[in-house]
Amino acid sequence: METIIRTEKVDKVYYRGKPEEVRALHQIDLEIFKNRFVLLRGPSGSGKTTLLNVISTIDRPTEGFIFLFGEDVSKYSDVGLSRLRQKRIGLIFQNFNLLPRLPAWENVSFPLIPLGVMEKERRRRSVEMLTQLRLEKRIDHPPEQMSGGEQQRVAIARALINDPDIVMADEPTSNIDAKSIKTLLGILMDLKGKGKTIIVSSHDPVFLDYSETMFLLKDGKLIDIENPNDFKCP
């Protein structure tokens, strides 16, 4: 199997003023293969979101190495990391992070702007993506006129607009209802069927039956237990 993400001895430390420090990640070694459904699971404060941010290159590790697509990206410049994300990584944020005054299609098209795509083509691609996610009636509506589930699908469309190799989602079920959760799971499994690698950070047990690879975190460390289904995530 092809390795798509690998970490070596990754630490992440946040400094809250001398001498206080918070070690969010400690000596993380993991390997993620292409076209797998991966779950980062653990209680609040375990380091799930921090790990997702580090492997997605949103944040840099304090120590250690991140390898994406066979390359050590720890040495990339901020501009280089931004370009990598734009082309190969789709991010779905917990709070959607939609621009409140822009219609759905402009929110979806936002990642195309740095790539120099003209407005007419941005709208065409965005409308196509929104239609695939059954949002054709919301194309010109701002987020405030949509339900939580609709806003999430707009966020998903934005994450997919550049046809990324990896799709990462942070606590994607925390702000939506049961019907929207079912829709989300269907979308993620469809993406996996198309060859995408799916990485979800969540304590929601709904993902246990879908994940093929699971990394359990506690206090910033990867842990091993005999039965992951018994792992409590308050």
Q: How far apart are CA 25 and CA 220, in angstroms?
A: 4
Q: If pLDDT is split at 50, 70 and 90, which confidence band does 47 have?
A: very high
Q: What is the pLDDT of residue 229?
A: 57
pLDDT at 227 over 60: no
The tens digit of pLDDT for each residue in 20-46 reads 788 999 999 999 999 999 999 998 889
| Structural fold of domain 37-58+77-213 | Rossmann fold (3.40.50)
- The pTM assigned to this predicted structure is 0.91
- Closest alpha carbon to 7 in 83, 62, 44: 62
Q: How far apart are CA 54 and CA 91, in angstroms?
A: 12
Angstrom distances, CA of residue 190 to CA of 29, 99, 185: 29, 27, 8
The tens digit of pLDDT for each residue in 107-135 reads 999 999 988 899 999 999 999 999 999 99
pLDDT at 234 over 60: no
β-sheet with 166-170: strand ranges across: 89-92, 166-170, 197-201, 37-41, 213-218, 221-223
Q: What is the pLDDT of residue 53?
A: 96
The tens digit of pLDDT for each residue in 53-75 reads 999 999 999 999 999 999 999 88
- Given CA atoms 43, 46, 50, 52 in this order, what sign does their dihedral have? negative
The tens digit of pLDDT for each residue in 167-212 reads 999 999 888 888 888 899 999 999 999 999 999 999 899 999 999 9
28 near 48, Cβ under 8 Å? no
